[in-house]
Amino acid sequence: MKKVFVVFGCVLLITCKYDNFYYTDRILQSDKKEYHIGDELNLILKVKSDEEKEIRFYKNFKNLSISFSLIDRPNHIQNGNWSKWSSQFLKDTNTITYKISRDSHFEKHIRGHIEQINDSIIIVIPELRFKASFSEMNFYDSTYVRIHAICLPVNPEPMASIEEYFNIIDIRIIK
């Protein structure tokens, strides 16, 4: 009986379809480097590969997660006031598989806007049901907002690294 369970377990491991973002280039861009209160924000996330590869995302892009932090080198602030990750506010949904290759990459535009309510500067991304809020007191002339992004596999193989980061970008929000 023990042998049957071992064989069954091995078959399950072999037949499971795992996914990952290994051997991909993950590129994060924004449409501008400087924004004002009231501006629209357009983030572009690209996943490229030199080889043909399948990648999977939840339909609501829960596994394509974004967060924000404050950077102010003259005032010695490095990743200060880090927001939560956008994936924390979304539920698992069905998945979509994308085929990428040298000639065909994945590209997702995520749109949001920047607003101010009382003494808070807020980055709102409706599609991800996400808001990152920072106190206006933490914004100096030298403050930047650092944008972090990450791809998380839907079904990672056992013992695999499950975090595949995009490059970080810094933007300014001018009050």
In CATH, what number is assigned to the domain containing residue 132?
A: 2.70.50
42 forms beta bridges with 111
pTM for this entry: 0.86
* Per-residue pLDDT tens digits of the chain, which is 175 residues long: 555 444 344 434 444 678 889 899 999 999 999 999 999 999 999 999 999 999 999 999 999 999 999 999 888 878 888 999 999 989 999 999 999 999 999 999 999 999 999 999 999 999 999 999 999 999 988 999 999 999 999 998 888 777 789 999 999 999 8
> 3-class SS at 11?
helix
- Estimate to the nearest angstrom the gap between the alpha carbon of 127 and the chain centroid: 13
26 contacts 165 by C-beta, under 8 angstroms: yes
Residue 109, amino acid: H
* Enclosing domain of residue 109: 2-174
- What per-residue confidence (pLDDT) applies to 11? 39
Tokens of residue 14, six digits: 């072999």
What is the number of domains present in the chain? 1
Rounded Cα distance between 78 and 85, Å, is: 17
